[in-house]
Amino acid sequence: MRSVFVVAHHEIRLLARDVKALLLLFVLPIALIVIAIFALGSLYGGGMTETRVLLVDEDGSALSRQIAVDLGTYPQLLIETSDPFLNDSATTQPMTRERAQAILDSGDRFAAIVIPGGFGEAVTTGAAARIQILRNPAQTAGPAIAFGILQGIATRLSADVIARGVTSAQLQPAGAAPAPPGQAERMLADVQRATAEAWENPPVVVEQTDVVEVTNGEIDPLKQNVPGYAVMFSLFTALLCGESLLRDRDTGAYRRLLCAPLSKGALLLGKLLAAFCVAVIQLIVFFSFGHFVFGMELGNSAAALVLMCAVLALTTTSLGIFLAAVVKTQNQLFSLTSFLILVMSAVGGCWWPLEITPPFMQKLAYFTTLNAWAMSGFKDVLWYGRGVAALGPEIAALLAISAVAFGVGWWRFRFE
């Protein structure tokens, strides 16, 4: 058993002197985690980015100004009523249709709302009234958000117009004597006021209820990106483990080592132990970085998180022995491992939540990648605050993958 630790210690010392390998294992992943946190934050409720929308008010009525105020109350939108690209910050230039069109053409903004002239009068008289959305089709999310919000405003205005029209018709039915002077106007004003008050507490509402409890009541990009990139880059320990095995074989190191009282099994287990320790340290660094730098919550069970890290490290290092056994050269190992890491990370939900992919891809992920199982386990721990007992399926799947990979690697690997 002592020989296993001797081999592992030797491997770790060699890795500690390899600056490029250390950059690949620690610095590059942390840089990508930071980029992903800021770039993909809008996928999650807590990190949603404001959509900048231009507003062109060609009407200038009290109603159009009120619509601008209403739009400004939505946190998803940042309404720009003046030219945001004027060099002179002291000058305010109201946004025009032509200028909005130019900004959309340049790609600096993707949506503009235009309230045309005569809009307020049309709403007041019950005539057809329209609000336009100009959009750049290169981006769909921003215009879609603006459209949904405007639909709600338009529905409220339409209900007001319909209510006043129905009231007016009831006051003056066909063939009836004219209403006393001022009565119609007073009743219409009362209807309009009552309608506005009713919209403050509408009779029909849509409620959204979370039926699954998550830690701290929210899902944030940290809990996707940190474990996602941690899983992906832990697979690079498989590359380093396999590369170490092939390097020692090609340089004849095994012939010298096997002359000593050292078994082949001890050599493989020593390589596995060294790679396992590196992978565990790597995962600890990633999760510590997310916690101490960005304040990411680590769930309610430290034991569950440690267990997931340990099992994932065992699986990735076992995969390294398997890969070293099925390829013939180091170049083949680099090519095959790089391909597998990128494909499994994309399919297995490391780059984006697996839940946003089509159902067939979700099933494919669990059948073909270890990433999906690892991400599912980390979600149980980080998102839902679950403990060790909830990790049974994920732990069993990862241990099965590890056993098959190590078993085939042990059987197939040739020391000559």
* Ramachandran area for residue 374 (φ above 0: left; ψ -120 to 50: alpha; else beta): alpha
pLDDT over 90 (residue 397): yes
Q: What 8-state DSSP symbol labels residue 216?
A: G
User: What are 128-155's pLDDT values in tens digits?
Assistant: 788 888 887 766 667 777 888 888 888 8
pLDDT over 60 (residue 381): yes
Least confident of 140-144, 228-232, 364-368, 369-373: 140-144
pLDDT over 60 (residue 43): no
Q: Which residue has the tokens 């099992």?
A: 311
Q: Mean pLDDT over residues 249-266, rounded?
A: 64
Q: Mean pLDDT over residues 214-218, rounded?
A: 55
DSSP string, 25-75: IIIHHHHHHHHHHHHSGGGSGGGPPPEEEEEEESS--HHHHHHHHHHTT-T
- What mean pLDDT value characterizes the chain? 76
Tell me the pLDDT band of 47, cut-offs 50, 70 and 90.
very low
Q: Are strands 51-57 and 77-80 parallel, antiparallel or unpaired?
A: parallel
Per-residue confidence (pLDDT) for residue 265, from 0 to 100 = 66
* Helix/strand/coil for 313: helix
Spell 116-143 as b/e; 16+ CB within 10 A means b. Answer: beebbebbbeeeebebeebbbeeeeebb
State both tokens at 386: 């679950």
Cβ-proximal residues to 273 (8 Å cutoff; 6+ apart), any chain: 4, 5, 7, 8
Least confident of 68-77, 132-141, 405-414: 132-141
Per-residue confidence (pLDDT) for residue 184, from 0 to 100 = 58
Its pTM stands at 0.63
The two counts, helices (H) then strands (E), for the chain are 17, 4
Q: Which residue has the tokens 């929210």?
A: 218
Tell me which of 129 and 399 has the higher pLDDT.
399
CA atoms within 13 A on the CB side of 391: 26
User: What are 5-28's pLDDT values in tens digits?
Assistant: 555 555 556 555 665 555 655 666
Element containing residue 243 per DSSP (H, E): helix 236-250
Counted residue by residue, the chain has a size of 416
Per-residue confidence (pLDDT) for residue 30, from 0 to 100 = 66
Q: How far is it, in rounded angstroms, from Cα 191 to Cα 185?
A: 10
Per-residue confidence (pLDDT) for residue 211, from 0 to 100 = 46
Tell me which of 183 and 52 has the higher pLDDT.
52
